[in-house]
Structure 1
Amino acid sequence: MYWEMGAHGRKKKLTAPESVVAIECRDTVAGKTEYKWEKNDLTMLYWLKHLQDIFNYPKIDFIRFVTNSFQFDIDDIKEIFGNTLKIIIGDTGCHVFNQMILERFSPIERLKIMTSDFPNSNVPERILMQNFDGLEIGDMWMETTIMSLDQLLLINSGIDIIRVDGVKATIQFKNDHPLPSLEMFVWFDHCIVES
């Protein structure tokens, strides 16, 4: 990593890692095998492409932004990792950086956020109104997420609510003409819904 002028001031760039560790685990063999390369001069982009070629898996399933992610240049991250179907935003330490993630990686099919990712813990209406395939809003360690009825009515995405005893409910919005509707399913072990 090195510091360079990036989006919103001086930001760290993703450079060649000092070492790379690959761990191989198999269901049929006990234990694991670890491979380590020291002091390599290959770039982060090279390692990503190399691993994608080895495992024949060219896409990125998700990118998770966590503690101190805001120190890195978002444009550099986007250039190396490209688009992904899912973004997870944890406690990055900067509300402005969180906004930049949403801007740079748009469109996003699945989004997982915490209310604390936004000033005053208010999720912006423009996020709630987007039609995500999946939208998870919650704080770490199963803390309660409070949303007003108006906020719930703005959401255009599959909403799951989990009670403290583990019972799960799903609210589904249907924009069927002429009468849009809201359905709520409470999931018990014996419940099956046909679509």
Structure 2
Amino acid sequence: MYWRWGAYGRKKKLLTPRTVEVNVFDNDDQVSGPVFLHNDLALKDWLKQLQDIFNYDEIDSIQFFAGSFYFDIDDIREVFGNKYKFDIEFLNSDAYRQLILEKFFPIGKLSIMTSRFQDSKLPANILIQNFEYLRIRGLFHEEMMKLDQLLMTNSKVIEIDIIQVLSKDFNKFIKLWQQGSNPHMERLSISHPNIEEDNVGWTIMRGIKHDMIPANRIRKFNTVESKKPCFVHGGMNIYRNDGVKATIQIERSLFRTIWHMYVWFDHCIVES
């Protein structure tokens, strides 16, 4: 790799990597690797060779790390193309992050980390975009997402991980959803360490008319971020003013609690 002056300062070009690391996954499960191969091919040639070997024409996602901003963004786009899914959780540069959002527009799926933004505050220009999938991750269990940020989030699938959301704010969010807020949302999950709060389920559902679904009733939900449907066990059914149904589910484990909200649009329903 070598350095050159580009439109955004002195940046590295993507040429011939010294080694190539290959890992093989089946969905999210790693089945082999890592394998490190010595290399004399240009990166673009390596991509073509791997695509031929695995008979897979697409590159599903690109992940940017802390040092990625050293590389020329136009060069990355030329080598990888305009891809659909981006992980910028560990990217520190605000300017480079904005370049990614501009250069690879439209982006379908995005993963971000709150601690990479100033004062851990997520910018509105990211939240308001209509991503198919948006993952927002915390780092120290101390970051908080407020009601106005939830209402601003315009994506279809929203995953909030290791970030505090007050149960009373989730209660207000559900009530506002019933009145028409977040109309594009299909699934929401909020995961955080176990909360030392009594009757959290009662707080979340206070003042909300709902129907209890037995835990042994299992429904399949089609979601855009996975090739396989997910299973919804029981939960509490609620309805929006226009008749659209959603299910609220509170999942507890030893170390964390997850609040789920599934919106049963026609294309999300999987017939048994």
Q: Same fold (TM over 0.5)?
A: yes
Distance 2:104 2:23 in 1: 29
What is the match of residue 136 of structure 1? 135
Distance 2:91 2:35 in 1: 30
The sequence identity of aligned pairs, in percent, is 41
What is the match of residue 62 of structure 1? 61
- CA RMSD, Structure 1 to Structure 2 (Å): 3.4
What is the match of residue 152 of structure 1? 150
Distance 1:119 1:65 in 2: 18
> Once the 2 structures are TM-superposed, how far is the Cα of residue 98 of structure 1 from its aligned partner?
0.9
Would you say 1:16 and 2:16 are equivalent positions? yes
What is the match of residue 194 of structure 2? 165
> Once the 2 structures are TM-superposed, how far is the Cα of residue 60 of structure 1 from its aligned partner?
1.0
Superposed, which structure 2 residues align to 1:9-158 within 5 Å?
Answer: 9-20=9-20, 22=22, 36-38=37-39, 40=40, 42-140=41-139, 143-157=141-155, 158=157
Aligned residues: 178
Look up the equivalent residue of 1:164 and give its one-letter code: P
Q: What SS does structure 1 have at the residue aligned with 2:90?
A: coil
Note closer, same or farther for the CA distance 1:24–1:184 as it changes in structure 2 (3 Å cut).
closer
Specify which structure has the higher proportion of strand.
2
CA contact (8 A) 1:21 1:37 kept: no
Q: What SS does structure 1 have at the residue aligned with 2:193?
A: coil
Distance 2:142 2:71 in 1: 30
Note closer, same or farther for the CA distance 1:163–1:54 as it changes in structure 2 (3 Å cut).
same
TM-score by length of 1: 0.75
Runs of 4+ off more than 4 Å: 21-25, 31-35, 178-184
Would you say 1:188 and 2:251 are equivalent positions? yes
CA contact (8 A) 2:141 2:192 kept: no
Distance 1:94 1:22 in 2: 27
What is the match of residue 6 of structure 1? 6
TM-score by length of 2: 0.56
Look up the equivalent residue of 2:151 and give its one-letter code: L
What is the match of residue 28 of structure 1? none
Note closer, same or farther for the CA distance 1:181–1:124 as it changes in structure 2 (3 Å cut).
farther
CA contact (8 A) 2:69 2:96 kept: yes
Note closer, same or farther for the CA distance 1:182–1:150 as it changes in structure 2 (3 Å cut).
farther
Could you list the per-position Cα deviations for residues 67-92 of structure 1 after superposition, in whole angstroms to 9, with x for gaps in the alignment?
Answer: 21111111111110112221100222
Task: Identify unmatched segments of 5+ residues in structure 2.
Answer: 26-31, 158-187, 196-203, 205-239, 253-259
